[in-house]
Amino acid sequence: MKMETNELSVRARGGTELMLQALHARLDPELTRQFQIIPSRVRGLDPDRKRILWLHDKPSREESSFLEQPENRAAFAGIVCVSHYQAALYQMIPGVPYAEMTVLQNAIEPFGAYLPRRSERIRLIYHTTPDRGLEILVPVFEYLAARHPDIELDVFSSFSIYDWTERDAPFQPLFERCRAHPRIRYHGAQLNAVVRQTLSECDIFAYPNIEPETSCIAAIEAMSAGCLTVCAAYGGLPETCANFARLYPFTENRQVHAQRFAAVLDDAIETVRLRKAEDESLRTQQVEYFTRFYAWDRRIGEWDAYLRGLL
């Protein structure tokens, strides 16, 4: 069982880091003193506190194989998953019994009541790392932009959000392609507050995901902001989006994936343009759902009850 001493990068601003900061900011300080909450990767165990392994990633040989051994799992008072999809993966792959896992889904600060968009422009947004589908989105947007003169795209995407700028190198031509397009605004990595402000002004979260995510904070925030979400039914996205997203079947064939995504996104653009009352009503229901089920005010109560139960 590999237990190196290391901390999460203080400069990283990805979903895991934001979740850990938000949890500690809300958790009873007494519980913080009694529990060491370890997000995803075990790099050191505190002998004086009960340990919670808070899984965010998919199981991997490098980081998760130690969970195959009951004696290694016994080092933790609890194992928390962020989705039921993820719990199923850990039960099947390293063989963690369901009895040893608890699902406490991700959470965000809600956006508030849905305010219908009034702009004549239809604004799309992509706000996750470039390896999760940007290579499909950009050519599809270029194609659809020729058909729809009123669409625009904001791209917030860079590995610098994880303080890992060297991994951006293979995607620089794609970033330049974004910068060159008159209706794409490439922002790189920005603070979450900047992304959230843009989300509140956008119509569609365009996400041709090629990563089987365990959950998706980007989708949760987009849908809480009232964005119509277009994504593949892959990984934890169907669970995360709770039937409010425009889902399409995933395929490993990138060309076919692009075609499927383009067709569904084209229809979503038409839906937004018409702004029918029933569609606006559905967006209101969507925002209400994500406010109710993904708010930190709800989730912190679940965490509090879970940790106190372990005491």
Supply the pLDDT for residue 16. 84
21's CB contacts (< 8 A; 6+ apart) are: none
Q: Do the Cβ atoms of 79 and 101 come closer than 8 Å?
A: yes
The answer to whether residues 122 and 203 touch, using CB atoms and an 8 Å cutoff, is yes
**Sequence ranges of the domains in the chain:** 15-107+295-310, 122-293
**Residue 108 carries which DSSP code?**
B
Q: Measured between alpha carbons, how far is 224 from 199 in angstroms, rounded to an integer?
A: 9
Q: Given this model, what pLDDT does residue 13 score?
A: 60
Nearest to 260 by CA among 234, 236, 279, 240: 234
The per-residue pLDDT for 163 is: 80
Residue 237 in tokens: 């996205």
pLDDT for the residue 227: 97
- CATH classification number, 122-293, choose in 3.40.50.720, 3.40.640.10, 3.40.50.2000, 1.10.3720.10: 3.40.50.2000
Question: Tell me, what's the pLDDT at 164?
Answer: 78
Task: Write down the pLDDT at residue 4.
Answer: 39
Q: How far apart are CA 120 and CA 143, in angstroms?
A: 20
In the chain, where do the E strands start and end? 35-39, 50-54, 78-81, 101-103, 122-126, 151-155, 184-186, 204-207, 228-233, 246-249
Q: Which parts of the chain have pLDDT scores under 70?
A: 1-14
Quick one: pLDDT at residue 119?
A: 86
Token pair for residue 156? 């917030």
Report the distance separating Cα 15 and Cα 161, nearest Å: 10
